[in-house]
Chains A and B, each alone.
Chain A
């Protein structure tokens, strides 16, 4: 059988820290959104950056991606990121254009 514990090597304390960091980032998101200090497009960008950080913590620590071999880690990260980058280029530039042109 594949020895999972030997491959991961994370301690319980590490998982607790990651969990606390995720809760803290969520709290920051809620405060930012509830106070509405930023315009919608800027708010979207900030929230997305925070979400990507949270997703990174979950995949690297909870899903143990950082313990996988580099070939698997990079193949997964690059392929999924490339697909999302394409979606971003097509969808958001167009959505932003509508706002910029002042279409109501």
Chain B
């Protein structure tokens, strides 16, 4: 009798409505994003503290850099639009358009990363390092800039891989490996991206583990949860762009 009562109690518990009125995967992603926002928050505050408390803080971002960063912002904002359209298509059950919009989002994300890498290359060629720069005697500028924007670039790259897995599943693995190999062979050995490109290899290994250990057809909920991550990456840039670039604009 006691066993039967216990079984009934368990069955009721299993169907107890969610405290937050939604599925647990989405709540989990929101909690992750809340914690990740504090990571970015700390980095942003560190940069901004340095910016306003140092009268000799360098302002190296001229017209070219600001234009580049504005295009990058437009890329991310457009990627958010295509992402939300992918979620809409997934809700309709339209698999073809879900994949198309996800691929468009990945394109904008990849464009953002390439433009950002070009900006980094330009700054590094201009003798900017994490511990110094030629514009001022404030070493914190390079350290906080590279940490903050590097962290964001890593998030965008992980986001593109995440969306690739959702959109193409196992078909994405050879594409990712080909991109890694091309990137590794085409970047000069002295470039920071010659090492940084290995993020794609690590991403391919992790994606392969996920795809082979738990193969599934990703549904509308999976698309929505991946969208939350992507929009968050966009949201963070809405703070990095003004605080880092626009607050250090060079007056010509």
Contact between A40 and B51, CB atoms less than 8 A apart: yes
Neighbouring A residues of B91 by C-beta, 8 Å: 4-5, 8
* Chain B interface residue count, Cβ-Cβ cutoff 8 angstroms: 58
Interface of B, helix, strand, loop or mixed by DSSP: helix
Contact between B84 and A62, CB atoms less than 8 A apart: yes
Contact between A91 and B49, CB atoms less than 8 A apart: yes
Contact between A47 and B22, CB atoms less than 8 A apart: no
Give the number of residue pairs across the A-B interface with Cβ within 8 Å.
Answer: 156
Given that A12-B88, A22-B77, A71-B21 are known contacts, is A47 also in contact with B220, CB under 8 Å in the complex? no
* Chain A interface residue count, Cβ-Cβ cutoff 8 angstroms: 55
Contact between B80 and A58, CB atoms less than 8 A apart: yes
**Choice from B22, B231, B242 contacting A62 with Cβ under 8 Å:** B231
Interface, chain A (partner B; CB < 8 A): 1-2, 4-5, 7-8, 12, 15-16, 19, 22-23, 26, 29-30, 32-34, 36, 40-41, 43-44, 47-48, 50-51, 54-55, 58-59, 61-64, 68-69, 71-72, 75-76, 79-80, 83-84, 87-88, 91-92, 94-96, 98-99, 104
Given contacts A1-B220, A33-B249, 12 further A-B contacts (CB under 8 A): A4-B87, A7-B22, A16-B81, A41-B52, A43-B246, A44-B247, A50-B242, A51-B242, A58-B238, A72-B20, A72-B27, A88-B45
